[in-house]
Amino acid sequence: MNGYENFVPMRLGRAIDRDSLKDASIDDFREAIVDSVEAGYRVAALFAAPAAGEAGVDLYAVLADASRSLLHVGKTRIEDGAYPSMTPEIPCVHLFEREIAEQYAIRPDGHPWFKPVRFHASYAPGRDAWGRDPDEKPIAGDIDFFRVEGDEIHEVAVGPIHAGVIEPGHFRFQCHGENVFHLEISLGYQHRGIERSLIGGPTKRTIHAIEAAAGDTTIGHATAYCQAVEALGGSRVPGRAEVLRGIALELERLANHVGDLGALAGDVGFLPTASFCGRLRGDFLNLTALLCGSRFGRGLVRPGGVAFDFDQERIASFKQRLASAFTDVTTAVELLWNSSSVQARFEETGVLTKENCLALGIVGPAARASGVDIDARVDFPSGVFRFTQIPISTAKTGDVFARAFVRWLEIQRSMKFIQEQLNALPEGSIRTAAAPPRPNRLALAIVEAWRGMICHVALTDQEGKFARYKMIDPSFYNWIGLAIAMREGAISDFPLCNKSFNLSYCGHDL
Amino acid sequence: MPNALFARLEQKHRTIAYPDQEPTLPDRFRGLPVIDASKCGEGCRDCAAACPTDAIAIDRERVRLDLGRCLFCDDCRSACPEGAITYSQDYRLSVRTREDLMMEGETLKLAAALDEKSRRLFGRSLKLRQVSAGGCNACEADLNVLGTIVFDLGRFGIQFVASPRHADGLVVTGAITENMRSALLTAYEAVPAPKIVIAVGACAISGGPYAGNPEIHDGIGSLLPVDLYIPGCPPHPMTILDGLLRLLGRLENREKTI
């Protein structure tokens, strides 16, 4: 592949010296990314960071080659505030390019859908990629929504506040009767300025800001953060801690997948499973609390290991409660598959094709439900997943049914994983003192959280402080998938489709 | 249909007996923090230095904890060389004013019930509209869970409703992002008076782990008049339920038995 020679191959867990990254020309940088995506790589991250001690901004790309579990990092210098957009050639970078424009006022010329992402002032004082007044804070949702014109077309606007106990976001539908021609999703209402506040860290507050970035993915993001910091400092994590992190990650998956299946049942008016799974989700959260005191795993994963350990008595109680919850989940979920009224609503609703999944870079259960064979636990294993394999669960139809069924397959496999790990828990300590991040390093972390791949990239400056900390929640990759799945669907199916993706607003907005 | 009935039998009755019986909480649950200042070493400030949200202030020998900022994390407890900080199992944390969250050794002044007139209005039927304004979905999830069969919020006459116009008040979560400020205020205006506001979680009370970020308002502050503060990150569902029932005066005659 052309332009590729300046990309540095990396594996997880090892930081590289930032000086080993040579600037590619923007043409070579673009060509390497476009060619590699066409060859089957994924763009795990594409982001901007201020150039060290000089004018201009650097663009960084992390390309993921799943077939060899290898990541390739490259960078280029942007000096004049613009570059030719890659989105027309590889749509999977569409949101990354918008984010770069919003954060560092770097314009991707020729971007076909060039709108703000989170509606904040740019990090580059006095500059704005859209030519708005840089001193005025942008107003959330202030964009030209895509409109379909015609006498019989009507527009439906929903949000930011929705009907349920749920986070805010804005949805704009272009409809012809029930039929949805197009859905545009405009987020940013949850933007708390997390990435910007992480610069200059780590501080005593950093891990807490990461844990609450997406509260239902506390373990996922905390694990990614700790792996990045451990790589920066060159720390090793005890085996027992790796296993406990893995168990907590799968418990998080169990709680959320079970909750999602209940919510999907609720959205089609099938109350038995909705009611049972609502309770059972809590049982898994309570198991996390049995380990660390918090239902969401707050305080468990820490740099150097974990902060809470299992004793024999706790393991016994944990196993017994886990088995009992699983029995109840099985009866509750099997009702779904055996009810033709449920299946009639799930099947062929909200179809996302495999081609679209690949073109848009969709991750997690949503991609696997369309037959895309990706799972970071297998493709880029870290921690305990280097030593044990969880088979990838896929389905083919890409509809609500497939997204529900993949969750059920994953529930069964996570259960089996936890039971096996509890029977073979390594002895020894649970935490080592994590060394502080070394200066001028770049580290990557990739974790398969319950919604899909999390990618964190940490860059340190000459003092070992974060020059940039990029965090990508799976929702960032996936929101576009929901919009595309709604095309030619019925607007009344939106709640069901939305729940089948169950994406995070705060994880996207940060 | 027979399957559904059979499953229903297998799943059993799951609603907890609270408030007739105390709930069972995990032994590592971090409830009301207890600071024994008599154990403090001279000039030691380790807990205050470790606290991620600067919730602990030490003035001479006095230790003051702002529960509204507290994330109920383990950082102060593990930093304390004297073991002076512990977490109790007490899940009852809700108070009526911001000042009541400032703890200095003494016990927490738990929320008093609404006045007589409000109780006549809301005591047996309270409809709430939830607004997340920068919440991380943990507070939201533990509010949602109150609607499950385990807690069965409906048996207390409390319900989350879709429209603020159908509501008696707002339950606010999140650090109040600038991007949600106007939507939150609009929702508040849409609630017919008399109305109440309940702040749930460290973010809504103080900005939580994001306090000081210019993109947020460090919690509700003076944006809305708050009637009930429920601290935690996130608060346990029992903490929230206790706060709601306390506000409605539904726990008053039970205090002796609990």
pLDDT score at A233: 96
Interface A-B, measured as beta-carbon pairs within 8 A, has a size of: 183
Strand partners, A24: A76
Contact A205 B50 (CB under 8 A): no
pLDDT score at B254: 66
Token couple for A63? 């390309």
Q: Which residues lie below 8 Å from residue A187, measured CB to CB, with a gap of 6+?
A: A117, A118, A169, A170, A479, A505, A508, A509
Give the mean pLDDT of A2-23: 88
State yes or no: pLDDT of A1 exceeds 70.
no
Which tens digit of pLDDT belongs to each residue from B157-198?
Answer: 999 999 999 999 999 999 999 999 999 999 999 999 999 999
In a domain, A291, yes or no: yes
State yes or no: pLDDT of A3 exceeds 70.
no
pLDDT score at A486: 96
In a domain, A156, yes or no: no
Contact A506 B7 (CB under 8 A): no
Give the mean pLDDT of A26-33: 95
State yes or no: pLDDT of A54 exceeds 80.
no
Give the mean pLDDT of B23-28: 94
* Chain B residues inside the 8 Å CB shell of A260: none
Contact A211 B209 (CB under 8 A): yes
**Residue where one domain finishes, among candidates A109, A133, A167:** A109
**Residue where one domain finishes, among candidates A109, A131, A162:** A109
Same domain (yes/no): A261, A387: yes
pLDDT score at B256: 46
**Count of structural domains, chain A:** 2
Confidence band for A422, pLDDT divided at 50, 70 and 90: very high
Which tens digit of pLDDT belongs to each residue from A336-354?
Answer: 999 999 999 999 999 999 9
In a domain, A445, yes or no: yes
Which tens digit of pLDDT belongs to each residue from B80-134?
Answer: 999 999 999 999 999 999 999 999 876 899 999 999 999 999 999 999 999 999 9
What average pLDDT is seen over chain A?
Answer: 95
Return the amino acid letter for A90.
I
What average pLDDT is seen over chain B?
Answer: 93
State yes or no: pLDDT of A200 exceeds 50.
yes
In a domain, A212, yes or no: yes
Q: B92: distance to nearest CA of chain A, Å?
A: 16
Q: What is the DSSP string of A216-272?
A: GGHHHHHHHHHHHHHHHHT----HHHHHHHHHHHHHHHHHHHHHHHHHHHHHTT-HH
Q: Which domain holds residue A458?
A: 194-471
Whether B188 and chain A come into contact, CB under 8 Å, resolves to no
Confidence band for B255, pLDDT divided at 50, 70 and 90: low
Nearest to B26 by CA among A131, A433, A317: A317
> Cα–Cα distance between B171 and B184 in angstroms, integer?
11
Which DSSP category does A434 fall into? P
**Start-to-end C-alpha separation, chain B:** 42
**Residue where one domain finishes, among candidates A83, A109, A135:** A109
pLDDT score at A5: 78
Q: Is residue A465 within 8 Å of residue A201, measured between CB atoms?
A: yes
Assigned CATH class of B116-254: alpha beta
Give the mean pLDDT of A466-491: 97
Contact A279 B210 (CB under 8 A): no
Give the mean pLDDT of A428-446: 96
Considering only CB atoms, B141 lies closest to which of A161, A193, A216, namely A216
What percent of chain B stands above pLDDT 90? 84
Whether B4 and chain A come into contact, CB under 8 Å, resolves to yes
Q: Where are the domains of chain B?
A: 116-254
What percent of chain A stands above pLDDT 70? 99
Q: A69: distance to nearest CA of chain B, Å?
A: 32
In a domain, A386, yes or no: yes
Same domain (yes/no): A104, A248: no
Contact B137 A216 (CB under 8 A): yes
> Cα–Cα distance between A313 and B28 in angstroms, integer?
14
Confidence band for A84, pLDDT divided at 50, 70 and 90: very high
Same domain (yes/no): A202, A66: no
Which tens digit of pLDDT belongs to each residue from A145-178?
Answer: 999 999 999 999 998 999 888 999 999 999 999 9
My answer on whether omega of the bond before B2 falls inside 30° of 0, hence cis, is no
Q: What is the DSSP string of B22-81?
A: PPP--TT---SEEE-GGGPPTT--HHHHH-TT--EEEETTEEEEETTT----SHHHHH-T
Please report the residues numbered 109 through 168 in chain B whose beta carbons come closer than 8 angstroms to any beta carbon of chain A. Answer: 130-145, 147-150, 160, 162-163
Same domain (yes/no): A199, A337: yes
Which tens digit of pLDDT belongs to each residue from A263-300?
Answer: 999 999 999 999 999 999 999 999 999 999 999 999 99
Nearest to B95 by CA among B71, B69, B67: B67
Which tens digit of pLDDT belongs to each residue from A352-363?
Answer: 999 999 999 999
Here the CATH number for the domain that contains residue A245 is 1.10.645.10
Nearest to A434 by CA among A206, A163, A253, A260: A206
Give the chain B residue nearest A299 (alpha carbons).
Answer: B73
Give the chain B residue nearest A298 (alpha carbons).
Answer: B73
Contact A167 B135 (CB under 8 A): yes
Here the CATH number for the domain that contains residue A46 is 3.30.460.80
Confidence band for A106, pLDDT divided at 50, 70 and 90: very high
Give the mean pLDDT of A188-213: 96
Confidence band for B1, pLDDT divided at 50, 70 and 90: low
pLDDT score at B258: 40
Confidence band for A453, pLDDT divided at 50, 70 and 90: very high
Map tokens 């006549």 to a residue.
B120
In a domain, A509, yes or no: no
- Mutate: best of B132, B182, B184, partner A, most A CBs <10 A: B132
pLDDT score at B107: 80
Token couple for B21? 């019986």
* Four-residue CA torsion sign, A448, A451, A452, A456: negative
Whether B10 and chain A come into contact, CB under 8 Å, resolves to yes
* Chain A residues inside the 8 Å CB shell of B29: 289, 293
- Weakest-pLDDT range from A394-403, B84-93, B216-225, B248-257: B248-257
In a domain, A255, yes or no: yes
Confidence band for B257, pLDDT divided at 50, 70 and 90: very low
> Cα–Cα distance between B200 and A339 in angstroms, integer?
38
